[in-house]
Amino acid sequence: MNALDWIVVAAGLATIVWINWYFFLAGREAVDAVPTNGAQQVPVVVQGGYQPAEIRVRAGTPVRLLFDRRETSPCSEEVVVPDFGVKRFLAAHRITPVEFVPDRSGTFEFTCGMGMLRGRITVDA
């Protein structure tokens, strides 16, 4: 292979790496809850998905997720956190606080009622 071939191969590899980073890693960093009025609070925008979709909290103290549902799509009208017994209706264009106490550490999913929209809560000990 000559120099031009190598440049083409390197550019192709760089593009593949960038595409994977963009779709699988970018914007997926966990957001830490902020202590507010006796609970670890995180605002979560609900619009075709959850933003942020990765949330980090501490075990043993109440968590308050403020779901800000900015759409009327029936998909997102319900949110569930099965591991902590949460199942709540989210009114369209309203902020709905959802509170629970994570009593154990681990990684837990929260989803819409159909399991299509997904997010994750990491509970640190």
Binding site for Cu ion (CB under 5 A): 75, 112, 114, 116
Residue 92 or residue 116: which is nearer to Cu ion going by CB?
A: 116
Contacts of 80 (CB under 8 A, 6+ apart): 86, 87, 88, 110, 111, 112, 113
Q: Which of 84, 109, 108 is nearest to 98 (CA)?
A: 84
Q: Where do we find the tokens 């830490």?
A: 32
Taking the complex as a whole, the smallest distance from the CB of residue 53 to Cu ion amounts, in Å, to: 14
Taking the complex as a whole, the smallest distance from the CB of residue 116 to Cu ion amounts, in Å, to: 4
Residue 30 or residue 75: which is nearer to Cu ion going by CB?
A: 75
Residue 32 or residue 78: which is nearer to Cu ion going by CB?
A: 78
Interatomic CA distance for residues 74 and 8, integer angstroms: 47
Interatomic CA distance for residues 40 and 47, integer angstroms: 22
Taking the complex as a whole, the smallest distance from the CB of residue 78 to Cu ion amounts, in Å, to: 8
Residue 31 or residue 75: which is nearer to Cu ion going by CB?
A: 75
Q: Report strand pairing: 78-81 vs 39-46.
A: unpaired
